[in-house]
Amino acid sequence: MKSEQCQAIVLATLDYGESDRIVSLFSLELGRLKAFAKAARASRKRFAGSLEPGNRLELTLQVRQDGLSRLERVEATQCYPGLRHDLDALSLALYGCELVEALTPEGHPLPRLYRLLTALLEHLDQCSATLADRRFFEINLLNILGYRPPLESDALHPLQNCLRTGKFGLISFSDDELAMAGRLLDRAISTHTTRPLRTLAFLQDVTEPRK
């Protein structure tokens, strides 16, 4: 195994044994990967609570192509404290992380998607989530991955506009446009996911009444 330094966003974690943790990461340089964090739950000094979904890290790891990589050093560069105080923002952030984990191939760098997820987290750190934010993220994610659905209908013009700007919060939807966009995107996402998304019910309960 060789050591690599990279930037990464924590997508999910899984406790392993008495004190270890397996971490799903989306890195700028290496794409999506899983890494073993030895004694992550026992050593406050080594990881200092940095291995939480949504946190952005600078890390050093021993990379394995055929199994779990191993975390050697972690430094949190942004923990987005605003997410921890707003259920709307937290639910969309967790959904965004799980969607990236579910739809991306392992070991394939996707810098545009890394920047999109970073932009989502930065936006939600400052602003409460809206349904329009969710649809903005989804259509841009599907577009980056080559899964974009057809957008010919006039009612889908807001989604077309979402692809012309990289900034959250600039595109407005009417109620009817949000409903149509939602049906289209939900169907497109379900086509490309192999399992139900754990965060989806939480997200819907928290954010869907808000437009």
Mean pLDDT of the chain: 91
Residue pLDDT, tens place only, 192-202: 998 889 999 88
Diameter over CA atoms, the chain: 55
Residues 192 and 94 in one domain: yes
Give the three-class secondary structure for 165: coil
Residues 72 and 100 in one domain: no
Last residue of a domain, one of 39, 59, 78: 78
Q: In sequence order, which residues have a C-beta less than 8 Å from that of residue 75 and are 6 or more positions away?
A: 50, 57, 58, 59
Residues 23 and 125 in one domain: no
Residues 49 and 141 in one domain: no
| DSSP state at residue 95 | H
Given this model, what pLDDT does residue 211 score? 45
Residues 105 and 42 in one domain: no
CATH number of the domain bearing residue 177 = 1.20.1440.120
CA 39 to chain centre: 25
Asked whether the beta carbons of 25 and 37 are under 8 A apart, the reply is no
Q: Whole domain around residue 37: which residue ranges?
A: 2-78
The Cα-based distances of 147 to 139, 141, 191, 198 in angstroms read 9, 8, 10, 21
Structure tokens given for 193: 């996911």
Residues 104 and 152 in one domain: yes
CATH number of the domain bearing residue 20 = 2.40.50.140
Residue that is written with structure tokens 């639910």 in the block: 91
Structure tokens given for 147: 């899964």
Given this model, what pLDDT does residue 2 score? 76
Residues 64 and 106 in one domain: no
**Polymer length in residues for the chain:** 211
Residues 189 and 133 in one domain: yes
Given this model, what pLDDT does residue 208 score? 60
Alpha-carbon distance of 69 to 134, in angstroms, equals 31
Cα(first)–Cα(last) distance of the chain, in Å? 48
The Cα-based distances of 57 to 52, 63, 183 in angstroms read 10, 16, 35
Residues 119 and 160 in one domain: yes
Total domain count for the chain? 2
Residues 144 and 203 in one domain: yes
Last residue of a domain, one of 78, 94, 109: 78
Given this model, what pLDDT does residue 104 score? 97
pTM exceeding 0.85: yes
Asked whether the beta carbons of 103 and 188 are under 8 A apart, the reply is no
Q: In sequence order, which residues have a C-beta less than 8 Å from that of residue 166 and are 6 or more positions away?
A: 115, 116, 119, 140
More confident residue, 59 or 3: 59
Residue pLDDT, tens place only, 64-113: 877 789 998 898 899 999 998 899 999 999 999 999 999 999 999 999 99
Residue pLDDT, tens place only, 5-16: 999 999 999 988
Residues 45 and 69 in one domain: yes
Residues 11 and 25 in one domain: yes
